A and B are shown apart, each in its own frame.
Chain A
């Protein structure tokens, strides 16, 4: 089947604008992760969902960042009042299992490249 898809692939926002980034995980995948990848850096964990439950949001950098997965499939990462430091690639990943002791492979999407001017 299809892999993880993300939209839009590129987003240019003016500072102060709100943006919404979408992730379509692989069908049936229980776990969904969001990461932020700044230029020249590795992905940094933002938040984790198990089905519709957001079990860890400790990586969200401020209260301007909000993520949801209301029906346990598609997820949206929303950034309010964007700032220049929010410019990065936002990656979504999904995996099959929710058992914490047996982390399954995370399948990554292509990312959304956000540029805040």
Chain B
């Protein structure tokens, strides 16, 4: 069965610090990979996604993620965080060959100190 593991449940950073949130998945076949974000009081929304091609994916608000197939990882990065990046971040995966089911990680709560 597919599963997604996010390494950190809570992360606290100061503004301008660099961010890397870990995500590993277990699934042997082709996958589609996603990072979703939920800002306080708002809906879940897509940050970025990987389907195929360049394993380095750029998303909104300066975020990027790198798909490393050999490590089953899809870590999220941002060189310099802002207070407005305070949110909960979810990594998700679904089977790239026809799965409807999207599996989410447990989420990482990021708090950025001003």
Q: Which residues of A contact B (CB under 8 A)?
A: 3-4, 33, 35, 40-45, 48, 55-56, 58-59, 91, 93, 100-103, 105-111
Contacts and interface: CB of A to CB of B under 8 A. Distances in A.
Q: How large is the interface on B (under 10, 10 to 19, 20 to 34, 35 or more residues)?
A: 20 to 34
Contact of A110 (B43, B97, B102, B103): B43
Contacts, number: 57
Interface in B1-42: 4, 32, 36
Contacts of B97: 100-101
A100 B100 contact: yes
Nearest to B36: A108
Interface of B: 4, 32, 36, 43-46, 49, 51, 90, 92, 94, 96-107
B71 to A, nearest CB: 21
Given A41-B106, A42-B90, A105 B49 contact: yes
Contact of B104 (A40, A43, A109, A111): A43
7 nearest interchain CB pairs? A42-B104, A100-B98, A108-B44, A48-B100, A56-B100, A45-B101, A108-B43
